[in-house]
Amino acid sequence: MSEQGGTGRRVDDKYVLIEPIGAGGMATVWLARDERLGKLWAIKEIKQNVGGVHEAAIRQTMIDEANFMKRLDHPAIPRVVDILDTGASVFVVMDYIDGTELSKVMRGQGHPFEQEDVIKWGIQLCDVLGYLHNVDPPVVYRDMKPANIMLRDDGVVRLVDFGVSMECEPGKNNDGRIVGTPGYAAPEQMPQNQEQLRTGRLDPSVVIDGRADVYSLGVTLYALATGHVPRRASSGQGADEPAFRMRPIREWNPQLSEGLERIILKATEADPDRRYATVDAMRYDLEHHEQLTEDWRVAQRAKTTRFRRLVIATACCLLLGVCCLFGAQAALRSSYEACLLYASDASRVENEDGVSDAESLYVQAISLSPSRLKAYRGLLDVYEYDFKFTQEEERRFRKAFAKVGDAADDPDFAQLCFDVGTCYLSYFGIDRAGGSVGNAALASIDAAAPWFRRVVELGEDERFESAQRVNGEDVRAAQSYTVIAEFHQKVARAGREGRSSSEDYAAFWDSLSGSISLENALEGKDKSPEGVRVRLCQVAVESTASATYLLGLSRAGVTKDQVQTMLDEVRRCVEGLADFASLEECRIVYGPVFEEIREGLGIADRTLKSVYENPVARMSNTSEEVES
């Protein structure tokens, strides 16, 4: 590797340093071009020639941060794709984000952002924080602030600077570090007394978890919406105090939403137990902020009161009829069947409250007889009607399904679990705006995995195997989908434990390639639902377009010809979905998905050639694995 000069220098014989785009005491971030792929990257150069123990520790922290980020895979987080040690410097190759820090944008325009944009970015940030909080082990970001959020020209935000992030280890409340930006950091992250200020260490009993990120996100939204940036000043007692009171945002600007004000106030509670328990709950409120007004609550209470009165009146009539005619149990069975009958003919189009008539009737049937499974299957049909299974629908389904109890002795339970899994796999998150739809595919199969695991467990349990009426092909499909869903977590875990992940790669390959080949071989109604086939193609493209995964597959014994064959199978599978893709309602929902699959196939072809025909890339990756 060439080490002379600065601009124009070559790294690893393929990266050309164009210009510095950031600099610190021990590191410089360069804009670089990959001459082989013609792609721009950001390369952080961490200098080796440090003079003291303190500087050496900082340098090691930077390298540890890069290795930590290698296991993260989310469209809002820049990927670390390579770490190169040349002796004089360590170069960290990562995604180049062509954007500007939100703090700089706000300073440049001289006024706060529009509320619509603040809410949109808040939802995107909830999404990435939710990803971090749900990886294994969970990660707390700990430094959310406008300066660490990059705004691209398309209005999408990206999160940078993971230097103080913390992995939540079992049985450990915090890592002892007092980190974060005063004013934005949650109170529990800051020194609580003179002793902590003197030692610079947190009390081991202080719990730092995802609620700390909820607080920082709340303060960030406050700053973006009002333009008033929080500062903190020493109280003289060893702790920091706000330099100004975080007044409700509508005191700064009465035009701001009451709903957004409520969200920020809840997120920035000093007591973690009074904040949102998860960023998913905060995201839900951001998506429905217009419903968090007092007028809306009053209207909902009035509706609830009227509904309760109607239910009581109906129940009285029903009870009277039951007593006079058939008895309570017979009437209940009749009402259940009547609900199913009416639901089958009812409208599946959502009303103003977001719930269709058919859904309401199926939910009513479930409440009448929770242990009977037919209404749950009908509920899935309603959610699949528009080819989208939204987060709100998923929440309502879980609430309804919680009533089923332990129905494992019902012969149709395993098949229902399989059907729920395919609903998640096909439609969950398909309406998610922003980010990579390929990553949405990985998220959907992760959400589907518990349902497929339940099918496999029922199929393996001697008590239920003979009683369950689940299709044998569905059990085998559930096994394959479970392996595919668990692949990324298993590989990440193997890397952290310093062991080989070749077996995980091999099992993943067999399940993925086998599933796609089988779908192409089946005919007509024997094929899986169209959404499942689309998701399998997405996962295949995501995996083979990544040099990291291809290198792992090659080390597991998967040949170039085998990968090329699977890519050809993906193309056949996509061609077989042409009629589905041409439907008007499908074009709206699945159009971006098919577009990404087509683009991904082109990238996969190039990556395949690069990985299998470029010995330098393979050697570099192998040495990197040994070092890590």
CA–CA separation, 134 vs 458, rounded Å? 26
Residue 383 Cα distances to 340, 390, 426, angstroms? 16, 8, 11
Highest mean pLDDT among 114-128, 298-312, 436-450: 114-128
Q: What is the pLDDT of residue 483?
A: 86
Q: Is residue 531 part of a domain?
A: yes
Residue 186, pLDDT score: 92
The answer to whether position 230 is within a domain reads: yes
Q: How far apart are CA 445 and CA 532, in angstroms?
A: 10
Q: Please give the model's pTM, rounded to 2 decimal places.
A: 0.49
Q: Kindly state whether residues 71 and 164 are assigned to the same domain.
A: no
Are 329 and 368 in contact by the 8 Å Cβ rule? The answer is: no
- Residues 168, 287: one domain? yes
Nearest residue to 534 (alpha-carbon basis) of 504, 475, 579 = 579
Residue with the larger pLDDT of the pair 354 and 493: 354
pLDDT score for 295: 59
Range with lowest mean pLDDT among 215-224, 268-277, 351-360, 487-496: 487-496
Residue 240 pLDDT exceeds 70: no
Element (H, E) at 427: helix 413-427
> For residue range 107-165, what is the model confidence (pLDDT) as tens digits?
999 999 999 999 999 999 999 999 999 888 899 999 999 999 999 888 889 998 888 88
Residue 386 lies inside a defined structural domain of this protein: no
CB 15 within 8 A of CB 32: yes
Q: Which residue has the higher pLDDT, 210 or 200?
A: 210
Q: Looking at the predicted structure, is the pLDDT value of residue 310 above 80?
A: no
Mean predicted lDDT score pLDDT of the chain = 80
Query: Is 548 within the bounds of a domain?
Result: yes
Do 85 and 221 lie in one domain? The reply is no
200 in the same domain as 57: no
Q: Is residue 355 part of a domain?
A: no
Instruction: Provide the residue range defining the domain that includes 445.
Output: 406-627
User: Which of these three, 44, 65, 96, is where a domain ends?
Assistant: 96
Domain boundary among 292, 320, 335: 292
Are 16 and 132 part of one and the same domain? no
414 in any annotated domain: yes
Contact 441, 540 (CB under 8 A): no
Mean pLDDT in residue range 521-531: 84
Q: How far is CA 213 from CA 38, 98, 199, in A?
A: 37, 25, 24
User: From residue 499, how far is each of 23, 35, 169, 239, 340 by CA, in Å?
Assistant: 36, 33, 19, 44, 53
Q: pLDDT-based confidence at 329, cuts 50/70/90?
A: very low
The pLDDT > 70 percentage for the chain reads 80
CA pair distance 435, 406, nearest whole angstrom = 38
Check whether residue 91 and residue 105 sit in a common domain: no
81 versus 432: the higher-pLDDT residue is: 81
**Same domain? 478 vs 618:** yes
Could you tell me if 431 and 498 lie in one domain? yes
Among residues 292, 318, 346, the one where a domain terminates is: 292
More confident residue, 386 or 569: 569
CB distance 50 to 24 below 8 Å: no
Q: For the beta carbon of residue 231, count every other beta carbon within 10 angstroms.
A: 13
Do 471 and 607 lie in one domain? The reply is yes
Confidence of residue 311 (pLDDT cuts 50, 70, 90): low
Q: Is the pLDDT of residue 476 over 90?
A: no
Is residue 539 a part of any domain in this protein? yes
Residues 24 and 114 in one domain: no
- Most confident of the following: 230-234, 387-391, 418-422, 565-569: 565-569
Helices (H), 497-614: 502-521, 530-544, 547-555, 560-576, 578-582, 584-613
Same domain, 528 and 468: yes
Tell me what pLDDT residue 431 has: 55
Helices vs strands, H then E, count in the chain: 23, 13
Q: Is residue 46 part of a domain?
A: yes
* pLDDT tens digits, 183-208: 899 999 888 777 777 777 888 888 99
- pLDDT (0 to 100) of residue 408: 60
**Within 13 Å of residue 548, how many CA atoms lie on the same side as its CB?**
18
Q: What is the pLDDT of residue 461?
A: 57
Report the domain count for the chain.
Answer: 3
Give me the mean pLDDT over the 552-577 stretch. 92
pLDDT digits (tens, 9 = 90+) for 533-557: 888 888 888 888 888 888 889 989 9
CATH of the domain at 219: 1.10.510.10
The pLDDT score that the predictor gives to residue 306 is: 57
Cα separation, 372 vs 578, in Å, equals 37
Q: Give the model's pLDDT for residue 45.
A: 87
403, 387, 442, 526: CA torsion to nearest 10: 90
Q: What CATH number does residue 92 fall under?
A: 3.30.200.20
Same domain, 40 and 80: yes
Looking at residue 321, its pLDDT comes to: 56
